Amino acid sequence: MPKRFVFIVEDLYGGGAQKVLLNTAEGLRQRGHHVKVFLLIDRRDFEPPVGLSIENLNLATRFVRSVSWSLVDRWVASKIEARIQQENPDVVITCSCDRFARFLSGENIFHWIHSSILNNRRGYQRAKRKALQFYSGRRLICVSEGIKHELLHEIHLKPRDIRVIYNPFDALSISVQAKGNSHLQLPTKYFVSVGRIEPRKRLDRMLRAYAQSGAQSDLVIVGTGHEKEISKLKKLAGQLSIQTRVHWLGFLKNPYPVIRQAQALLLTSDREGLPTVLIESLICRTPVISVDCPTGPSEILIGRWKEFLVPMTEEKNLAEAIGKMDQQRPEVQELDYRRFLSEETLPQFEKLTEATK
């Protein structure tokens, strides 16, 4: 029987969580459910699927984002709640808008947590306090077992309900997009990094390991971020004498052709949730190399892929993995990513309706 789902997200601005939300909402819609996505501000890098219903509530205005008053946050939450009630949903899933969502009430509201909370070197205690404040007594969806463990055993959170649902991936859609023409002049052989360019992604770690690896393949970086961070990284590439071999492509709406042709995809973050790009790369049949950051990579790179999961602090090991992958590109099989496919994960979202009865 079709159910009614509402998703709430601040915006669709270039992050993995936003992309996953659109994929999940569209997947549920295609399975016959009524799905509505509310934005709090109409800022987009990702264009939603044609048939998916998107509505901008225009509540996260410049003024609202510039102040930190709980009274303002409660007012925004009341407006969101009033609009939700008009939809009469079976399930409400909030994502990347905890500031406002913490004031929503209702048995059918789930807070979707996409990234590690505690692995923040400068704000550990503050992050812990916020998690306790935002999520205590709430219904939670975690995108990895690592996040669930962190919340229960490190923060000692007491949620009303907590479950792990892996992000759903449409292998057919990704494969079709990956076969498209990238319309870019790419090196003959290269490694690729895809994602927001920000400090926690630790592209400095990637550049140093790449420089040490002795790899003959170039390095292609797909993504955008603050100019200050990009400038700092370009300066580092110059200091490492690899500036002519590092190519900065900016944001691509369809990075899959670039991923598909790469020797391997690299991820060197300090923290993640369940890194979307690692799974997308495997679906494109492109191998991956990742640091073993909290959380997610260790749940993706299992079995024979553990060889390419390296400790975060061991740049020498990372360099060795890059060098080895440069010499021989292992073949990716469907078994390596099957557990993340939509047909495995979307039924778990449908079961959320049972928890609210």
Report the CATH number that the domain containing residue 129 is assigned in CATH.
3.40.50.2000
Interval 212-218 mean pLDDT: 96
Q: Mutual orientation of helices 315-327 and 203-213 as an angle, nearest 10°?
A: 60
94 lies in the same domain as 147: yes
239 lies in the same domain as 320: yes
130 lies in the same domain as 187: no
> Is the pLDDT confidence value at 122 over 90?
no
Quote the CA–CA distance of 148 and 164 in Å, as a whole number: 7
pLDDT digits (tens, 9 = 90+) for 3-42: 999 999 999 876 678 888 999 999 999 999 999 999 999 8
pLDDT of residue 43: 83
User: Where does the pLDDT of residue 276 fall: very low under 50, low under 70, confident under 90, or very high at 90 and above?
Assistant: confident
pLDDT digits (tens, 9 = 90+) for 306-334: 999 999 889 999 999 999 999 999 999 99
> Is the pLDDT confidence value at 57 over 70?
yes
pLDDT of residue 214: 93
pLDDT digits (tens, 9 = 90+) for 283-292: 999 999 999 9
When the pLDDT of each residue in the chain is averaged and rounded to a whole number, the result is 92
Which DSSP state fits 52? S
Interval 142-146 mean pLDDT: 91
> Is the pLDDT confidence value at 45 over 80?
no
Contact 268, 203 (CB under 8 A): yes
189 lies in the same domain as 332: yes
Range list of H helices, 153-202: 171-178
pLDDT digits (tens, 9 = 90+) for 147-176: 999 999 989 999 999 999 999 999 999 999
103 lies in the same domain as 202: no
pLDDT of residue 253: 85
Cβ-based neighbours of 226, under 8 Å, separated by 6 or more? 197, 198
181 lies in the same domain as 86: no
154 lies in the same domain as 215: no
Tokens read off for 258: 């670039």
> Is the pLDDT confidence value at 350 over 90?
yes
> Is the pLDDT confidence value at 357 over 70?
no
Interval 252-271 mean pLDDT: 94
256 lies in the same domain as 329: yes
User: Is the sign of the CA dihedral 300, 304, 308, 310 positive or negative?
Assistant: positive
Domain carrying residue 267: 171-339
H or E stretch including 344?
A: helix 342-350
Task: Determine what percent of the chain falls in helix, strand and coil, rounding each to the nearest 5.
Answer: 45, 20, 35
Residues forming a β-bridge with 34: 4
| Structural domain count, the chain | 2
The amino acid at 90: D
End-to-end CA distance of the chain: 15
185 lies in the same domain as 252: yes
Count the Cβ atoms, other than its own, within 10 Å of residue 316: 14
The amino acid at 52: L
Contact 35, 29 (CB under 8 A): yes
Long-range contacts of 351-354 (CB under 8 A, 24+ apart): 352/91, 352/93, 352/110, 352/141, 353/3, 353/90, 353/91
pLDDT of residue 120: 55
Quote the CA–CA distance of 191 and 196 in Å, as a whole number: 17
- For residue 48, the SS3 value is coil
pLDDT of residue 121: 54
Contact 342, 169 (CB under 8 A): yes
